[in-house]
A and B are shown apart, each in its own frame.
Chain A
């Protein structure tokens, strides 16, 4: 009996246990099978956090791997309104830190949104201040910010980005997809104390680094000289482009007005315009190069052929064209050197419109050059069938046609390099994670094409040298190198009258140096200079200063001896240069450079160490700072030998007479300071010494 009762109790207990287990497993099964997704999502929301990782935007370097644009991570502050306990207090405290109105922040915190920005891309001190407030529901998030450490250097080539680092101009826009990379997401587990662990790796594509063909030093030289020219001529705008004529690489591209890409939003649209590729202008006399190139290549004239310039005026299709001077008979070399419009028109008329048009197109006018910069204009060239009876006359002297500086320098480079037209370009290489990308996949390649024969180019180079030596561009004559070029002084259209203005001009000079093996082609144009407006007066000196500095920097060997007069003048100027050097630049405050200047290095300095102002730059040239030299014996030497030796020793020779050196003062062996004047008298030596030495050239 007792055994039966115990058995029943056991059965009841087992039944209850079974029921309990069935209930538990049933509930588990229900949750697992039917509500799995819902609870999984809830768990993930609670435990996991998904973070979008934006890859750092690629760095833009110059050709020597000097960074011109780079991104660094900075903090942005955001709030989660549902977590903020006291919106009023939070808004009041944050307002004092980020400098935004309290009401605006409070309105954001009271919104129904789950995420609101408080301030983006904060300076480190503000981010630290927000962290120190320790407000619930206020967080910091890392974002990348673009910096341009060289400020306005090459601003138009680099372009700029918006707050979300989207490229809006220049290379930043043109190669935005490559520089930006592809963002990815990572999922991290979060514990109760909001600590992260077990993060998964994001599959993101790093932004590509861009290596430009620009050289920051050449770029600076071009910008500096352009700025000085603008300041002295009061022109409203200007452009300077330096190109390697043998490859089409742009070494410098400077525009004025310019802007600081770190604060692109503050700049006017006019300042952000890349005039070198977008601005159209009538090239004026510089276009006579194209007229003559076509004529020589077609064999319809030769440099020595004489044209009657009809005392400075000619009648074409009922229009009388006046030269800037009353020229009579001029050969073709002189037509270019003196920039005779009448002569150019007569040559073009002989060439005839169809052939002239073909050459204009062949030189790349009327079509974009394909330079890897955005907003390029194709220029203004009417189709041949729309040419009027006077068009050939106008176009031959650079009117009735609109060109961009980049088109013109590409055409002049073709003349410089022997007749090959290269596509101008600023991008040399793209690299992602250290591996070079195939640039042709990104940018459209273009093979160089021959536009004129090498002989034609050689003839034109010689004629362009005449422009510098005895024509309208003597101020483009370089000290130590041969140079060639063409001046241009094109009248602007007056918008009020629709006619050519008598007061507003585009003064330009385009040329290259040295002549036999050109290392650089340079174009300078100034829009509406005040006072002197001829290209030979205002643009040619800029060409000279840029060319001399660039050729020295590139170590291009001098191909003509230094002019003793120039050396003498340089010495005279030397003392005054010391003082005037201070006036070369307007006051520049570098305390805020770059914008804002990171304080990283200051953080790493040992306490108590005074910050150094500057470090000694590495020497790049061998400079002899004076001292005494012993005068050699010049007797029996030729004038060239005497000049060479004197210049090498830093002496200022005064050469009197001709033939071989007979006497000198001071005498050989005397020690003088560098720069001292030495007079050498030349004459016919006695009979026994009169025979020229073998291999001697005079």
Chain B
């Protein structure tokens, strides 16, 4: 239809030109490619560096919190330890032990004949010498 109308005016010829560019080969320059990869590598390294920096920074803060928590726990444990030592010391008060022994248990001092003395083993020192401290004058 169109052809018919146009036929009445100017004649148009539609020719199909087949172009074969299969022989065209894209020329890749190795230097540019190297630069490209280098840029990618550098960028990646910089990005990784910043990522690592940020990670370790926040990790450090996180660990600092944990460390302070552990320090607090350690202090609590140390305080409890001190309290227990104090309690033990109080319970071992000779006056308390003596009073319990006499009042609650009804114990009395042993008679001289109830205490049996044994021969001192070889090398034993008498009491007076046993308590000499070496850091004092002889």
Contacts and interface: CB of A to CB of B under 8 A. Distances in A.
B68 A197 contact: yes
A554 B127 contact: yes
B128 A557 contact: no
B84 to A, nearest CB: 5
The range of chain A's interface size is 35 or more
A526 B87 CA distance: 34
Nearest to B80: A600
A621 B131 contact: no
A247 B127 CA distance: 12
Contacts of B127: 519, 551, 554-556
Interface of A is mostly: loop
B75 A73 contact: yes
A591 B74 CA distance: 30
Contacts of B92: 66
A601 B114 contact: no
Contacts, number: 190
A652 to B, nearest CB: 9
A590 interface: yes
B99 A585 contact: yes
B82 A73 contact: yes
B93 A149 contact: yes
Interface in A182-201: 188-189, 195-199
Interface string A576-588: 0110011011001
Contact of B115 (A150, A552, A571): A552
Interface in A175-220: 188-189, 195-199, 213, 216-217, 220
B114 A517 contact: no
A571 B136 CA distance: 44
Contacts of B11: none
Contacts of A217: 94
A582 B133 contact: no
Given A149-B90, A153-B94, A622-B116, A517 B64 contact: no
A161 to B, nearest CB: 15
Interface in B86-138: 86-87, 89-90, 92-104, 106-118, 120, 126-129, 131-133, 135-138
B65 interface: yes
B89 A66 contact: yes
A72 B86 contact: yes
A213 to B, nearest CB: 7
Contacts of A346: none
Interface in A238-253: 244, 246-249, 251
Nearest to B79: A73
A541 to B, nearest CB: 16
Given A70-B89, A198-B64, A217-B94, A425 B136 contact: yes
Which residue among B64, B86, B103 has the maximum number of chain A CB atoms within 10 Å of its CB?
Answer: B86
Given A196-B68, A598-B86, A600-B84, A621 B110 contact: yes
A34 interface: no
Contacts of B111: 567, 570-571, 574
A556 B71 contact: no
A249 B113 contact: no
Interface stretch (A7-15, A402-410, A440-448, A499-507): A440-448
Contacts of B110: 621, 623
B38 interface: no
7 contacts: A66-B92, A67-B86, A72-B83, A246-B132, A562-B113, A582-B102, A593-B93
Given A149-B90, A622-B115, A624-B114, 17 more contacts: A66-B89, A72-B79, A72-B82, A73-B75, A147-B86, A149-B87, A197-B61, A197-B68, A224-B98, A429-B135, A480-B112, A519-B127, A554-B127, A556-B127, A556-B128, A584-B102, A624-B116
Interface of B: 60-61, 64-65, 67-68, 71, 75, 78-80, 82-87, 89-90, 92-104, 106-118, 120, 126-129, 131-133, 135-138
Top 7 A-B pairs ranked by shortest CB distance?
A197-B64, A149-B89, A600-B83, A220-B94, A554-B127, A598-B83, A72-B82
Interface of A: 63, 66-68, 70-73, 142, 147, 149-151, 153, 188-189, 195-199, 213, 216-217, 220, 224, 244, 246-249, 251, 422-423, 425, 428-429, 436, 439, 445-448, 479-480, 517-519, 551-552, 554-558, 562, 566-567, 570-571, 574, 577-578, 581-582, 584-585, 588, 590, 593-594, 597-598, 600-601, 603-604, 613-614, 617, 621-625, 647-648, 650, 674-675
